[in-house]
């Protein structure tokens, strides 16, 4: 029946092959219900060899092994990670409560005021006010605030963790060599894949589940750009700092960070945008907000609901981008003149 049966018979391995009595799993191909076409000559893959010789493991055995392995270390991982990440749950819960229980007539002016303080731009502030009015008018306000709350918390944590990490990277080539591939992996891993191990690790009702997914995904640019920004600081200025006896703390706080600030802020802007992208996907694992409406639109074929929620997400993205860009421009224009 199988292509390679004769091959094993010829080698006289039949007895060894049949010694393994474990029932076979469905092969990956059968799992997806695909049939072999008449013209195909099967490659001697694990699955194909297994069908000829039982003693050879299947590809599914490998994935199953991974599962078993992960499940074995899960309790240990949980004991470590659970208390460590618990503050994330508290922060997310707190922020969500704060953003949803503060009445709109207080929160919207506060947000507009904060946007003005950060951007120093009247037009950006007006834009924010108009978008807020849209959210309020179309009853998307609460959802939008939930999304915003999650983004605030996650971006804040990304900056708190990412900037020091970037600084460490910029100070040591070894650290950079070790961290860069990790960042590359975090950036290229499909967004859904973040969720798989996290679902195993945490209860799906816990906010830290989606919090972790968002932070892992969104922390990359702020780390990268902090590292880059510090490495790009004019070496002659650094040399002058050395020549006048600045110690490493004085150099970092007095010279490197101020001069790297435009790059760091560009990283923060990217981090905010990536948090927004992930918070929508994270609605699959119970993240509240606009993403749940999109999910509802997909699950129940409610085109209108999904579409309007999607539009609201776009507005939120524009809002976050404009405000953070305006802040960045403000720093840049102060700094660009310094070059």
Selected from 122, 244, 249, 304, the binder of other proteins by CB under 8 A is 244
Which of residues 174, 188, 236, 299 is near other proteins by CB under 8 A?
Answer: 236
Interaction between residue 157 and other proteins (CB under 8 A):
no
Question: How far apart (Å, rounded) are the C-alpha atoms in residues 115 and 129?
Answer: 10
Q: How far is the CB of 167 from other proteins (least distance, A)?
A: 18
Tokens of 110: 């506060």
User: How many Cα atoms sit within 13 Å of 297 on the Cβ side?
Assistant: 16
Rounded to a whole number of angstroms, the minimum distance from the CB of residue 254 to other proteins is 8
Rounded CA-CA distance 181/184 in Å is 5
Q: If you search the block for the tokens 């799906």, which residue do you land on?
A: 204
Q: At closest approach, how far in Å is the CB of 162 from other proteins?
A: 22
Query: How near is the Cβ of 258 to other proteins at its closest, in Å?
Result: 5
Nearest CA among 30, 65, 27 for reference residue 47: 27
Of the residues 6, 242, 298, 307, which one makes contact with other proteins according to CB under 8 A: 242
Q: Is 299 in the site for other proteins (CB under 8 A)?
A: no
State in angstroms the smallest separation of the CB of 263 from other proteins. Answer: 14
Q: Which of residues 259-278 bind other proteins (CB under 8 A)?
A: 259
Token pair in block for residue 249: 């703390």
The CA–CA distances, whole Å, from 220 to 31, 259, 270, 302 equal 35, 21, 9, 35
Task: Give residue for tokens 């101020």.
Answer: 258
Question: How near is the Cβ of 159 to other proteins at its closest, in Å?
Answer: 20
| Interface positions, 175-234, toward other proteins (CB under 8 A) | 234
The CA-CA-CA angle for residues 58, 63, 65, to 5°, reads 90
Query: What CA–CA distance (Å, rounded) separates 144 from 135?
Result: 7
The one segment of 9-17, 111-119, 236-244, 289-297 that binds other proteins by CB under 8 A: 236-244
Phi–psi pair at 37, nearest 5 degrees: -80, 160
Q: Does 333 bind other proteins (CB under 8 A)?
A: no
| Nearest to other proteins of 196, 253 (CB atom) | 253
Q: What angle do CA 83, 89, 90 make, to 5 degrees?
A: 95
Q: How many residues bind other proteins (CB under 8 A)?
A: 21
Using the rule CB under 8 A, which residue among 124, 149, 214, 255 binds other proteins?
255
DSSP 3-state of 32:
coil
Pick the closest to residue 50 from 22, 70, 77 (CA basis): 22
> Is 249 among the residues that bind other proteins (CB under 8 A)?
no
Residue 47 CA to its chain's centroid (Å): 34
In the set 18, 67, 184, 239, which binds other proteins (CB under 8 A)?
Answer: 239
In the bound state with other proteins, the residue whose beta carbon lies nearer, of 57 and 258, is 258
Among 37, 122, 243, 301, binds other proteins (CB under 8 A): 243
Residues that bind other proteins (CB under 8 A): 234, 236-237, 239-247, 250, 254-255, 258-259, 335, 337-339
């Amino acid at each position: 029946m199988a292509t390679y049966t004769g091959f094993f018979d010829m080698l006289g391995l039949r007895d060894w092959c049949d010694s393994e009595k474990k029932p076979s799993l469905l092969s990956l191909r059968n799992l997806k219900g695909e049939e072999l076409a008449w013209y195909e000559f099967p490659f001697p893959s694990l699955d194909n060899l297994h069908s000829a010789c039982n003693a050879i493991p299947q590809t599914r055995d490998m994935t199953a092994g991974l599962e078993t392995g992960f499940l074995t270390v899960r309790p240990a991982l949980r004991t470590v990670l659970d208390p460590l990440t618990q503050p994330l749950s508290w922060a997310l819960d707190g922020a969500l409560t704060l953003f949803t229980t503060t009445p709109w007539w207080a929160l919207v002016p506060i947000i507009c005021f904060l946007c003005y303080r950060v951007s120093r731009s009247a037009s950006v502030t007006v834009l924010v006010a108009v978008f807020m009015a849209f959210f309020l008018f179309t009853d998307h306000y609460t959802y939008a605030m939930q999304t915003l709350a999650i983004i605030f918390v996650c971006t804040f944590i990304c900056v708190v963790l990412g900037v020091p990490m970037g600084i460490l990277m910029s100070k040591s080539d070894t650290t950079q060599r070790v961290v860069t591939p990790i960042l590359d992996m975090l950036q290229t891993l499909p967004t859904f894949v973040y969720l798989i191990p996290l679902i195993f690790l945490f209860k799906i009702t816990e906010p830290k589940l989606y919090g972790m997914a968002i932070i892992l995904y969104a922390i990359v640019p702020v780390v990268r750009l902090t590292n880059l920004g510090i490495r790009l600081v004019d070496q002659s200025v650094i040399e002058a700092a050395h020549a006048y006896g600045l110690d490493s703390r004085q150099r970092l706080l007095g010279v490197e960070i101020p001069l790297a600030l435009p790059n760091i802020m560009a990283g923060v802007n990217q981090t905010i945008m990536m948090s927004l992208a992930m918070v929508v996907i994270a609605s699959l694992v119970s993240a509240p907000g606009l993403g749940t409406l999109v999910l509802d639109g997909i699950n129940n074929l409610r085109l209108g609901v999904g579409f309007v929620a999607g539009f609201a997400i776009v507005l939120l993205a524009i809002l976050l981008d404009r405000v953070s860009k305006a802040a960045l421009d403000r720093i840049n224009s102060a700094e660009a003149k310094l070059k």
